C-alpha cells in the first residue's frame, strides 16, 4: 500500500505480550533459568540414583545371608541351653560306638585352645569374635559369589553363637564328643561345626576359582 508522496507502508511487528515482558526481567524468572540442570548435573543425578538402587539390592541380598547366620546362632544357642539344663557338667552319655553326648565348659577357643589361661582369654577371644563378626556383617552386604556368602554366613553364625555363650557364662558349652579306639577328639558344639564348614568351603572355593575370579551374586 502506498501513501501520497511515495511513502510505503512498512509492516509493524507486534510487541511481545505484556506478561512476557514482565517475566523476562523478573529476578525469579532469571534465577530459574540460571538453575536449570546442565548435562553434567543430570549425569550426577543418574549416578546417585544408580548407587542408591545398587545399595538397596545389596541390602536385600544381604538380609538372606544375615538370616542364615542368625539361624545358625539360634540353633547353637538352643542346643547349648538344652545341654546346660538337661545334663550335669562332666556327664557322658554314649549315643553310638564312637560318639558321646557330654557337658564340658570350655574357657578357651575352639577345641580347647587357651582353655588353661587365667581368665583373660574370655575378653580377648570375645573381642576377636566381635571384630570378625562386624567384618563378616559388612562383607555379607556386598556383592559376593553365593558360595562365599554361604561360607561367611556359617562363620558369622558360629562366631556369634560362641561369643554370646562366652559373654553370658564366661565359657563355651561343648557337648559333642567323638572318639576312636580310646582317642577322643576335643569336644565341640554346633557353632564350631558351622565355623569349620564355612572355613573349609571358603578355602575350597578360593582354591578352585582363584581370588577375584568368582561369579557374583545376581541382584
Give 118-166 pLDDT, tens digit per residue: 556 667 777 888 888 888 878 877 767 889 999 999 999 999 999 899 8
Residue 182 lies in a domain: yes
Residue 35 lies in a domain: no
DSSP 25-64: T-HHHHHHHHTS--HHHHHHHHHHHHHHHHHHHHHHHHHH
Residue 14 lies in a domain: no
Q: DSSP label at 188?
A: B
Residue 85 lies in a domain: yes
pLDDT level of residue 38 (50, 70, 90 thresholds): low
Give the domain range for residue 127.
61-209
How far apart (Å, rounded) are the C-alpha atoms in residues 89 and 106? 11
Tally of domains within the chain: 1
Residue 136 lies in a domain: yes
Say what the pTM is. 0.64
Please confirm, yes or no, whether 192 is among the known catalytic residues: yes
Among the listed residues 198, 202, 219, the one whose alpha carbon sits nearest the alpha carbon of residue 59: 219
114: left (phi over 0), alpha (psi -120 to 50) or beta: left
Residue 70 has pLDDT above 90, yes or no: yes
Share the mean pLDDT of the chain.
76
pLDDT value of residue 129: 80
Catalytic residue chosen out of the listed positions 76, 165, 174, 177: 174
pLDDT level of residue 219 (50, 70, 90 thresholds): very low
Catalytic residue chosen out of the listed positions 76, 165, 177, 192: 192
Classify strands 92-96 and 99-106 as parallel, antiparallel or unpaired. antiparallel
Please confirm, yes or no, whether 165 is among the known catalytic residues: no
Range from 43-52, 107-116, 164-173 carrying the lowest mean pLDDT: 43-52
Residue 73 has pLDDT above 60, yes or no: yes
Q: Which residues contact 199 (CB under 8 A, 6 or more apart)?
A: 151, 155
Amino acid at each position: 500500500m502506498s501513501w501520497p508522496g511515495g511513502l510505503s507502508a512498512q509492516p509493524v511487528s507486534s510487541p511481545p505480550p505484556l506478561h512476557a515482558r514482565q517475566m523476562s526481567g523478573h529476578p525469579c524468572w532469571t534465577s530459574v533459568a540460571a538453575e536449570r540442570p546442565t548435562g553434567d548435573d543430570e549425569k550426577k543425578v543418574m549416578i546417585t540414583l544408580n548407587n542408591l538402587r545398587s545399595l538397596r539390592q545389596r541390602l536385600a541380598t544381604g538380609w538372606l545371608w544375615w538370616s542364615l547366620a542368625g539361624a545358625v546362632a539360634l540353633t547353637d544357642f538352643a542346643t547349648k541351653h538344652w545341654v546346660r539344663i538337661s545334663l550335669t557338667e562332666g556327664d557322658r552319655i554314649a549315643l553310638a560306638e564312637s560318639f558321646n553326648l557330654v557337658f564340658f565348659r570350655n574357657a578357651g577357643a575352639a577345641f580347647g585352645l587357651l582353655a588353661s589361661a587365667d581368665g583373660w582369654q574370655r575378653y580377648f577371644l570375645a573381642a576377636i569374635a566381635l571384630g570378625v563378626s562386624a567384618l563378616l556383617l559388612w562383607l555379607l552386604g556386598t556383592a559376593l559369589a553365593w558360595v562365599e556368602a554361604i561360607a561367611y554366613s556359617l562363620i558369622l553364625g558360629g562366631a556369634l553363637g560362641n561369643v554370646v555363650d562366652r559373654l553370658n557364662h564366661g565359657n563355651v558349652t561343648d557337648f559333642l564328643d567323638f572318639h576312636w579306639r580310646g582317642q577322643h577328639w576335643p569336644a565341640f558344639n554346633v557353632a564350631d561345626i558351622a565355623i569349620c564348614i564355612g572355613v573349609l568351603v571358603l578355602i575350597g572355593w578360593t582354591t578352585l576359582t582363584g581370588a577375584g575370579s568368582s561369579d557374583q551374586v545376581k541382584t
